Amino acid sequence: MQLMNDEDKRIVQVENGDNSVSQDNKKSLMQLDLVRFEKRLQEFMANPQNTTNEMEFVSVLCSTLFYVPVMVGRQQISRNSMNPGLKMDIATMTFLADGNQYVPIFSDINRMNEFLKTTGRRTELRPVLLNISELMYQVKKINVVGVLIEPGKFNFPLSTEYWSYLEMSRPIEASMGDNFKLKIMPRDITSRIEDKLKPKLRWQKKVKRAWVLGVQLPGKDVYEYLTILEYNGDKDKFQGEIARKLALAVRDALPRGKDLLIGTTEDFVGQAVIENFTPFYVRKSGFLRR
């Protein structure tokens, strides 16, 4: 295992210590997110060609925080940096299967500690929590191939190239057939989701109407939260930008362990939503907007 250092000029800098791991964050991640993430990861690895598996993996991947081993030091004022603060050197490792350099990441703090024991670096490194978008941003800065999810257990390499593809993926498909079910979800949670969405939707002029419901997908025994948008714009922009921003905006409003699926009225599910439910948001012309 290696560290990106001053000589490589690929040091990741942080102005404060807000990203350091608290005990509450550790317990929350272990107890509430670990099982769900590993289940979706295993399903995807077992059948990566299955679109539903891929979409569900993308959804949970984007809502999970990962432990990353770093060495933390004090950033001194220098010619290259006039802002003192904390300096984090992110650990990297060589994945023997392809010989490339990756950043090892973990969804379980205990698993990370066990892995570091085998490298002899446990006392030198400390964990930092980052989401996958933050991780990939840092990975590009230090010029490695990507992240290695759960080395020693799953050994799943996620390259920056594949991440770019996943960001363009949609969390709901039109070809699900007619075996899904729709229903109105609990009002208190639905209201929180709607309140998070409305400010974002007002800036999206191409979104005419929006719904928040529950959908039970084929083969599933639980309902997931679903947002359907009547969107009259570029499909690539919707897939790569708008849907992702809306999903991130409502993350804090969702119950623990729940995902938000996002689709449009062009989808098969979206057509059923139009026919049976009333939208919570309708864009109006002029200054009268809901």
SS3 288: coil
- Whether 129 contacts 67, CB under 8 Å: yes
Rounded Cα–Cα distance for residues 85 and 73 (Å): 9
Residue type, 222: V
pLDDT of residue 242: 86
pLDDT of residue 175: 35
**CATH 3.30.70 domain range(s) in the chain:** 181-282
Name the average pLDDT for the chain.
77
Residue type, 92: T
In this prediction, residues 253-264 reach a mean pLDDT of 84
If pLDDT is split at 50, 70 and 90, which confidence band does 199 have? very high
Tokens of 267: 């989808």
Rounded Cα–Cα distance for residues 182 and 163 (Å): 31
If pLDDT is split at 50, 70 and 90, which confidence band does 195 have? very high
pLDDT of residue 117: 85
Rounded Cα–Cα distance for residues 225 and 184 (Å): 10
pLDDT of residue 241: 80
Name the residue with tokens 């990975």.
Answer: 139
Rounded Cα–Cα distance for residues 147 and 144 (Å): 8
In tens, the pLDDT along 33-86 reads 678 888 889 999 998 877 677 777 887 787 788 999 988 665 555 555 545 555
- Whether 239 contacts 170, CB under 8 Å: yes
In tens, the pLDDT along 228-251 reads 999 998 877 887 788 888 888 888
The contacts of residue 239 (CB under 8 Å, 6+ apart) are 168, 169, 170
| Greater pLDDT, 120 or 103 | 103
Residues paired with residue 181 on neighbouring β-strands, in sequence order: 216
Tokens of 17: 């210590």
If pLDDT is split at 50, 70 and 90, which confidence band does 219 have? confident
CA distances from 138 to 31, 132, 166, 212, 228 (A): 27, 10, 17, 34, 32
- Whether 182 contacts 214, CB under 8 Å: yes
Rounded Cα–Cα distance for residues 132 and 149 (Å): 11
CA distances from 84 to 74, 76, 138, 147 (A): 8, 5, 19, 28
State pTM to two decimals: 0.50
The contacts of residue 166 (CB under 8 Å, 6+ apart) are 54, 58, 61
Per CATH, is 181-282 categorized as 1.10.8? no
Residue type, 35: V
- Whether 268 contacts 175, CB under 8 Å: yes
pLDDT of residue 33: 65
SS3 202: helix
pLDDT of residue 267: 82
Rounded Cα–Cα distance for residues 154 and 42 (Å): 8
Q: DSSP label at 109?
A: H
In tens, the pLDDT along 121-176 reads 666 788 888 888 888 888 988 889 999 999 989 999 999 888 877 665 444 333 34
| Greater pLDDT, 256 or 192 | 192
In tens, the pLDDT along 265-276 reads 988 888 888 888
Which phi-psi region, left, alpha or beta, contains residue 250 (left: φ > 0; alpha: ψ -120 to 50)?
A: alpha
In this prediction, residues 207-235 reach a mean pLDDT of 87
Rounded Cα–Cα distance for residues 223 and 53 (Å): 16
